[in-house]
């Protein structure tokens, strides 16, 4: 609620230590761009009843030492009567230009931390709408709710529905039986060395996925046609496996501690005590996947209502189809009441954000905790148009990821899919990992029965 302290997830993003916690979605359209006045009028009509979009983020006051450092929290303040049209502007240039400029620049204090940019791009007859936000304000589901409302078959969003905070019942993920349950909060796994090519700085790139290749990859599953999300996780797992193969002297090791896929111990393979023939168990490689927690009756809530779920990446499996099978069912959703212990634990951590972020910095942000984040946003409706201009592509821009990790973000609409990759390990790493993703996806597609 406006004026209240941020909940735990939003407070953590407000304190994001790797760069401004900015994220966004770009919608690419075919046709003559609308005028800035037309776009502002559309935004004013469709989003006028949404209090969330008039809020400003207020940082904790007082000194950042002692007790204030441990307990100081951000809060929201509402600016009634704020003109949403002031948040809409236009610029020449590409999405890459915009990301390089805006996503590394904090929002100014005293104004709502979001903006909608009309990008005219470099090709005639094409334009983009880029929604940029401070991630504490909105999550991915909120973004798709807002952007759908701008389409020709949309309409003004309901202010009351946008404030309907998910109650005691939340959607979550049922752990797959083969995994043995979810990992503990502080359970670490195995870090994967990224390429580390180029200057050590954030990097971002986008590639398009061929529809026929993605369709063939979904058919590679043994029991049924896989979901796009399952193909996504399996392909990212293949990318991480290739990173391990390029960086390690030991072959991949299974969680049980035995060499996988027929690999044999190599000369010099030993434990730290020098015992030959005994394999070290490096633990699983974890993927972090944001899962929407909204129950069906809170689908239009605007804010952050997601949880990061960790699932194992099957990096020990050399067969792409086997990796796809291992990813089947990892994200099966269920709706259940929130446990009292969960609410108490979250409230305790939110009360001492300084300690929570110190814990996160040393553990939760480490590559061994979650080597890669995998986010998928899809607009499934047919025939999306903006004032008659058809949507042709959706592209996600994630936050700058923790050091030495990667974020893979898949954006989809009826016209196809794009993959965004963000890294914080080397200026060339994003492009190298995106190329590896395309290679792994092709390998999976070629395994179609």
Percent of the chain at pLDDT > 70 equals 88
Half-sphere exposure of 371 (CA within 13 A, CB side): 25
- Report d(CA 141, CA 159) in Å as an integer: 16
For residue 16, give the 3-state DSSP assignment. coil
> What's the pLDDT tens digit per position in 93-130?
888 888 988 888 999 988 999 999 999 876 778 999 99
Are the beta carbons of 409 and 287 closer than 8 angstroms? Answer: no
Q: What pLDDT, on the 0 to 100 scale, is given for residue 62?
A: 62
pLDDT for 188 beyond 70: yes
pLDDT for 265 beyond 80: no
> What's the pLDDT tens digit per position in 280-295?
567 899 999 999 999 8
Q: What pLDDT, on the 0 to 100 scale, is given for residue 271?
A: 34
**Closest listed residue to residue 15, CA positions, set 122, 153, 134:** 134
Report, as an integer, the average pLDDT of 217-221: 89
- Detail the DSSP E strand segments found in 66-202: 75-78, 88-91, 114-119, 126-134, 169-173
pLDDT for 29 beyond 60: yes
- Report d(CA 336, CA 305) in Å as an integer: 15
- Report d(CA 323, CA 55) in Å as an integer: 44
> 53 falls in which pLDDT band (50, 70, 90)?
very high
Which stretch of 57-71, 180-194, 397-411, 413-427 has the lowest confidence by average pLDDT? 57-71
pLDDT for 262 beyond 50: no
Task: Count the Cβ atoms, other than its own, within 10 Å of residue 146.
Answer: 26
Q: Which helix (H) or strand (E) holds 206?
A: strand 203-209
Are the beta carbons of 251 and 263 closer than 8 angstroms? Answer: yes
* Longest CA span, the chain: 73
Report, as an integer, the average pLDDT of 309-322: 94
Report the 3 state secondary structure along 366-405: CCCCCCEEEEEEECCCCCCEECCEEEEEEEEECCCCCCCC
């Amino acid at each position: 609620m406006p004026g209240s302290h941020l909940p735990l997830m939003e407070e953590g993003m407000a304190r994001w230590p790797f760069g401004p916690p900015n994220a966004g979605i770009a919608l690419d359209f075919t046709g003559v761009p609308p005028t800035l006045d037309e776009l502002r009028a559309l935004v004013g009509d469709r989003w006028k009843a949404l209090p969330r979009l008039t809020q400003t983020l207020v940082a904790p006051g007082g000194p950042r030492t002692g007790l204030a450092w441990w307990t100081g929290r951000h809060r929201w303040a509402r600016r009634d009567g704020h003109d949403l049209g002031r948040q809409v502007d236009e610029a020449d240039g590409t999405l890459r230009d915009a990301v390089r400029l805006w996503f590394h620049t904090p929002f100014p204090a005293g104004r709502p931390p979001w903006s909608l940019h009309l990008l005219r791009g470099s090709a005639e007859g094409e334009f983009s709408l880029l929604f940029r936000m401070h991630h504490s304000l909105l999550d991915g589901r909120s973004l798709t709710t807002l952007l759908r409302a701008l389409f020709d078959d949309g309409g003004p969003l309901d202010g009351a529905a946008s404030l309907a905070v998910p109650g005691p019942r939340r959607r979550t993920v049922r752990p797959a039986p083969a995994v043995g349950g979810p990992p503990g909060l502080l359970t670490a796994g195995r870090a994967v060395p990224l390429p580390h090519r180029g200057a050590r700085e954030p990097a971002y790139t986008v590639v398009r996925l061929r529809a026929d290749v993605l369709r063939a990859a979904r058919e590679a599953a043994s029991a049924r046609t896989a979901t796009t999300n399952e193909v996504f996780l399996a392909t990212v797992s293949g990318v991480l496996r290739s990173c391990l193969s390029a960086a390690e002297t030991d072959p991949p090791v299974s969680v049980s501690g035995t060499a996988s896929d027929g690999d044999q111990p190599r000369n010099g393979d030993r434990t730290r005590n020098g015992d030959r023939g005994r394999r070290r168990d490096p633990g699983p490689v974890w993927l972090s996947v944001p899962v929407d927690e909204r129950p069906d009756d809170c689908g239009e809530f605007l804010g952050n209502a997601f949880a990061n779920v960790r699932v194992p990446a099957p990096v020990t499996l050399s067969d792409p189809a086997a990796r796809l099978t291992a990813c089947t069912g990892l994200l099966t959703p269920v709706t259940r009441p929130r446990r009292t212990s969960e609410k108490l634990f979250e409230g305790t951590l939110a009360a001492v954000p300084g300690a929570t972020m110190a814990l996160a910095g040393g553990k939760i942000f480490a590559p061994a905790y979650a080597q890669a984040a995998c986010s998928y946003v899809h607009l499934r409706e047919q025939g999306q148009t903006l004032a008659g201009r058809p949507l042709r592509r959706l592209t996600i821009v994630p936050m700058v990821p923790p050091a030495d990790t990667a974020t893979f973000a898949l954006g989809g609409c009826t016209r196809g899919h794009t993959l965004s990759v963000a890294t914080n390990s080397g200026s060339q790493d994003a492009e190298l990992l995106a190329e590896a993703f395309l290679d792994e996806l092709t390998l999976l597609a070629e395994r179609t029965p």
